[in-house]
């Protein structure tokens, strides 16, 4: 297997170890995947100003995100179906995040439930990502459960009122658990490590929903309920209602436009995440890193601006911070680590990103991530 020195090493191993439908769920975008590719490619166009003969002995990547101390300005993004990349995926990722001193965000569409993650991590605070579903009673219940699970921030995703079409998921017949077609069975049979793990766990369905939503007590009713629940009427009034109900730190995710950024702040957001859902919703939208400076400029210092989309290294994190982000999120990179090596894989991803961030910052002549700004980048 050899030493894992970059995120790409973990992606390759995950591809070998995870059944095709779940690997493709992570490693894909909507329609032509233009935006998915642009998220990564646009980082590569940004260049650093290397500086020398600066004392870089004492260095710190420590910062805060929504007032919470973090070892580096990186959080684990909410990712659906993490527990299908590897058995107990969300629990393992939360443990690795706790170990590394970075926030873990649990998705509404996780396999392991809020309660299971809280119990497995000794009730260590984590963040919860909320989808605003049609069943508002269920949403209220989810918010209460997040409070009871000791969640310290709520992340509301705004860009999934309808589903973008992801061709790979359609072709693979993506479902949880997988449909026992011949193609799926043959593919899973070639991933014995994954199968053994999944057989050993009780977490195999959407843990936050099954048994909690009205009339959802088996996999068929779960699929039907989920497809009907995403709400095309989602509005800023809903965000105000959630803020009031939640009462704690609120992060609004899925912002691509300065006007929406201002509306999010007016609705009570403590931070916003510049995000195009990893290129999984509106294909043809601008990359997150190219959108970030416009939104930072529009908001000034009023709230923290975070970003996700395309981060595959500590250098990407440093570029985002230089352009004004106060925090970044890793989704796919974490999922590659999880699919490749479970908890150890996620820990490896975080170590790789931290080391690259620290060294790249030093090469730019900076010793504290909190003073990094656009001056470390070449302007063209």
> Domains of the chain by range and CATH?
7-378 (3.20.20.70)
Structure-token pair, residue 321? 């911070």
Confidence of residue 95 (pLDDT cuts 50, 70, 90): very high
Looking at the predicted structure, is the pLDDT value of residue 12 above 90? yes
Confidence of residue 380 (pLDDT cuts 50, 70, 90): low
So which residues are the catalytic ones? 277
pLDDT digits (tens, 9 = 90+) for 242-262: 999 999 999 999 999 999 999
The stretch 38-51 carries a mean pLDDT of 97
Lowest mean pLDDT among 112-126, 131-145, 224-238: 224-238
Specify the pLDDT at position 166: 86
Specify the pLDDT at position 178: 78
Specify the pLDDT at position 223: 66
What letters, b where the CB count within 10 A reaches 16 and e where it falls short, cover 273-304?
bbbbbbbbbebebbbbbbbbbbbbebbeeebb
The stretch 324-346 carries a mean pLDDT of 98
Assess contact for 156 and 253: CB atoms under 8 A. yes
Specify the pLDDT at position 301: 84
According to DSSP, the β-strands at 74-76 and 327-330 are parallel
Q: Which residues belong to the annotated binding site for glyoxylate?
A: 25, 131, 166, 277, 280
Q: Which residues belong to the annotated binding site?
A: 25, 78-80, 107, 129, 131, 157, 166, 253, 275, 277, 280, 308-312, 331-332
How does the average pLDDT of the chain come out, rounded?
A: 94
pLDDT digits (tens, 9 = 90+) for 261-316: 999 999 999 999 999 999 999 999 999 999 999 999 999 888 999 999 999 999 99
């Amino acid at each position: 297997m050899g030493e894992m020195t970059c995120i790409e090493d973990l992606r390759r191993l995950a591809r070998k170890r995870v059944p095709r439908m779940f690997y493709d769920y992570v490693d894909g975008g909507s329609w032509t995947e233009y935006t998915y590719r642009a998220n990564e490619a646009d980082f590569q166009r940004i260049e650093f100003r290397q500086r020398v003969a600066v004392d870089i002995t004492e260095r710190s990547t420590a910062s805060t995100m929504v007032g919470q101390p973090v070892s580096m300005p990186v959080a684990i993004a909410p990712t659906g179906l993490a527990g299908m990349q590897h058995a107990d995926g969300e629990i393992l990722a939360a443990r690795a995040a706790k170990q590394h001193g970075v926030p873990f965000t649990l998705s509404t569409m996780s396999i392991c439930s809020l309660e299971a993650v809280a119990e497995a991590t000794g009730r260590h605070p984590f963040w919860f990502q909320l989808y605003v579903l049609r069943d508002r009673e269920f949403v209220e219940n989810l918010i209460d459960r997040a409070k009871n699970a000791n969640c310290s921030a709520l992340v509301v995703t705004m860009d999934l009122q309808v589903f973008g079409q992801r061709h790979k998921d359609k072709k693979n017949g993506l479902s949880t658990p997988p449909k026992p077609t011949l193609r799926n069975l043959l593919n899973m049979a070639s991933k014995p490590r994954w199968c053994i793990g999944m057989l050993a766990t009780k977490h195999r369905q959407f843990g936050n929903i099954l048994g909690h939503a009205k009339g959802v007590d088996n996999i068929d009713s779960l699929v039907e309920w989920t497809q009907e629940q995403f709400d095309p009427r989602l509005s800023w009034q809903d965000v105000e209602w959630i803020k009031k109900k939640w009462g704690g730190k609120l992060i609004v995710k899925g912002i691509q436009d300065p006007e929406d950024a201002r509306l999010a702040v007016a609705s009570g957001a403590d931070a916003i995440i510049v995000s195009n859902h990893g290129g999984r919703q509106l294909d043809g939208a601008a990359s997150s890193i190219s959108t970030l400076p416009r939104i930072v400029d529009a908001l000034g210092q009023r709230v923290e601006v975070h970003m996700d989309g395309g981060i595959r290294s500590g250098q990407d994190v440093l570029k985002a911070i230089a352009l004004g982000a106060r925090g970044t999120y890793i989704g796919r990179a974490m999922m590659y680590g999880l699919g490749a090596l479970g908890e150890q894989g996620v820990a490896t991803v975080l170590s790789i990103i931290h080391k690259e961030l620290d060294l790249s910052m030093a090469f730019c002549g900076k010793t504290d991530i909190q003073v990094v700004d656009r001056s470390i980048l070449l302007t063209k």
